[in-house]
């Protein structure tokens, strides 16, 4: 059903865009086929009555417009189906296991589908801690670097060759596949610190590779919209450049930069593949970012998904739940989605609440 809808959209768009003119100007387009015919057929004295639009033609164009509106509306509906389905399933299946016990216990002592002594079936406390620490590490690396890079690009080297090269590379860097960032962090630590190293900080390094371009791009945009009058006023008062940047420019652009950073966090907090190969996976809580493996929420979701189900022995009793890994996976996914959505909301809220002052 869905697929056939898409096909309809595809074919109709392809057909209708076929006679599309190269030029933008609407005047030439409407008269284009007409004049072409006229110069061939009628010669120097065109018969203008010929060009009077017939009723049928007008109707046809009207209908075409309506059909295209329908097709575009259909495309929208088709696109919304997966979103609604995704959110609905995650919420519906996630709330089943989402309770305080799930949030405050880790996976140590969990055997198969049997309930743990605490009364639950294991939880994601360790994964939440891991996610927070690894992401915090990535923030601490990428925000200063990204912000200073943006300051260099906007305040010190507008338009120089070096700056152009940097901004091009930042753009290219924003397209690095997350798994390549993970491989990089893995190689870096394996070569510098010996093979077999796996800790949370390694994951932070991988995430910061993904985060820096986002921070740079959003900060550059925000610094650019700070009016030059402010800078000039500050210089006219005899304030040094660094002080002007810190006290005037950055303070003005702060809300935008903060919201950009929050959106960047929301992006990297859900990364799975690079953490799978750097931060690793354990069942117990690890508070130390620099030593030992750390579980993060996305990795937890994946690990529980790949377990799929456990076998319950016949004498296990009603407490044993065979489908518990899948249920844990959905509950953790719900927590992850909630974190990402809340971060997005906060980012946009900051942007909206404070952006008025910059203008």
Partner 1 sequence: MANTSESSSAGQAMPVAVGQISAGLSAPGGGGTDGRRNGLDFSDAKPGRHSQDKIFHAVAVGCGALILVALGAVVLFLLLRAWPIFAGPQAKTSAVFASLSGGKAHGFWQYVGPLVFGTVVIAALALAIAFFVAVGVALFITFYARKRIQTVLNYVVDLLAAIPSVIYGLWGALVLVPATYPFWNWVSAHLGWIPLFAGPAANPPRTVASAAVILAIMIMPIITSMTRDIFAATPRLNQEAALALGATKWEMIKLTALPFAKSGMVSASMLALGRALGETMAVMMVLSPGMTYSWHWLQASKSQTIAANIAAQYPEADSLGVSALIATGLVLFVITFVVNLLARRITRKGGAR
Judged by CB under 8 A, the chain residues 285 through 304 that form the site for partner 1 are 298, 301-302
**Binding flag, residue 351, partner 1 (CB under 8 A):** no
**Binding flag, residue 322, partner 1 (CB under 8 A):** no
- Smaller CB separation from partner 1, 101 or 167: 167
Binding mask 247-266 for partner 1 (x = CB under 8 A): ----------------x--x
The burial of 340, by beta-carbon neighbours within 10 Å (0-12 exposed, 13-18 middle, 19 or more buried), is given as: middle
**Binding flag, residue 3, partner 1 (CB under 8 A):** yes
- The nearest distance, CB 238 to partner 1, in angstroms, is 4
- The nearest distance, CB 204 to partner 1, in angstroms, is 14
- Smaller CB separation from partner 1, 5 or 354: 5
d(CA 293, CA 323): 26
The burial of 261, by beta-carbon neighbours within 10 Å (0-12 exposed, 13-18 middle, 19 or more buried), is given as: buried
**Binding flag, residue 171, partner 1 (CB under 8 A):** yes
Identified binder of partner 1 from the candidate list 124, 127, 209, 282, rule CB under 8 A: 209
Footprint of partner 1 on residues 73-92 (CB under 8 A)? 73-76, 78-79, 82-83, 85-86, 89-90
**Binding flag, residue 54, partner 1 (CB under 8 A):** no
**Binding flag, residue 115, partner 1 (CB under 8 A):** no
CA distances from 226 to 128, 161, 178, 246, 259 (A): 37, 23, 32, 13, 16
Stretch touching partner 1 by CB under 8 A, among 37-45, 109-117, 153-161, 283-291: 153-161
d(CA 270, CA 258): 19
Torsion of CA 118, 124, 129, 130, to 10 degrees: 130
Nearest-5° Cα angle at 307, 94 to 316: 85
**Binding flag, residue 169, partner 1 (CB under 8 A):** yes
Cα atoms in the Cβ-side hemisphere of radius 13 Å centred on 276:
14
């Amino acid at each position: 059903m869905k697929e056939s809808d898409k096909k309809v959209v595809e074919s109709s768009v392809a057909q209708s865009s076929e006679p599309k003119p190269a030029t933008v100007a609407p005047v030439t387009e409407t008269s284009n086929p007409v004049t072409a015919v006229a110069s061939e057929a009628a010669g120097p004295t065109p018969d203008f009555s010929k060009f009077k639009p017939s009723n049928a033609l007008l109707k046809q164009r009207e209908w075409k417009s309506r059909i295209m509106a329908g097709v575009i509306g259909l495309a929208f509906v088709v696109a919304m189906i997966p979103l609604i389905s995704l959110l609905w399933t995650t919420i519906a299946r996630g709330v089943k296991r989402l309770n305080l016990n799930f949030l405050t216990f880790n996976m140590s002592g969990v055997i198969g589908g049997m309930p743990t002594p605490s009364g639950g079936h294991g939880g994601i406390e360790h994964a939440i801690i891991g996610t927070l620490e690894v992401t915090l590490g990535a923030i601490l690396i990428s925000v200063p670097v990204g912000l200073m890079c943006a300051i260099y690009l906007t305040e010190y080297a507008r338009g120089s060759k070096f700056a152009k090269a940097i901004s091009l590379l930042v753009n290219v860097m924003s397209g690095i596949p997350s798994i390549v960032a993970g491989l990089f962090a893995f190689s870096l630590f394996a070569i510098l610190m010996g093979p077999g190293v796996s800790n949370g900080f390694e994951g932070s390094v991988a995430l910061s590779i993904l985060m820096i371009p986002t921070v740079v791009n959003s900060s550059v945009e925000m610094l650019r919209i700070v009016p030059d009058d402010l800078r000039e006023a500050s210089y006219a008062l005899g304030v040094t450049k660094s002080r002007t940047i810190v006290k005037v420019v950055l303070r003005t652009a702060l809300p935008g930069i903060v919201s950009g950073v929050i959106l960047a966090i929301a992006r990297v907090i859900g990364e799975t593949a690079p953490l799978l190969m750097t931060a690793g996976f354990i069942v117990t809580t690890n508070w130390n970012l620099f030593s030992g493996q750390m579980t993060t929420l996305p990795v937890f979701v994946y690990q529980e998904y790949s377990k799929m189900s456990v076998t319950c022995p016949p004498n296990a009793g009603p407490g044993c739940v065979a489908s518990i890994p899948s249920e844990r996976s959905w509950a953790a996914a719900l927590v992850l989605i909630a974190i990402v959505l809340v971060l997005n909301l906060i980012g946009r809220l900051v942007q909206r609440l404070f952006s008025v002052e910059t203008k």
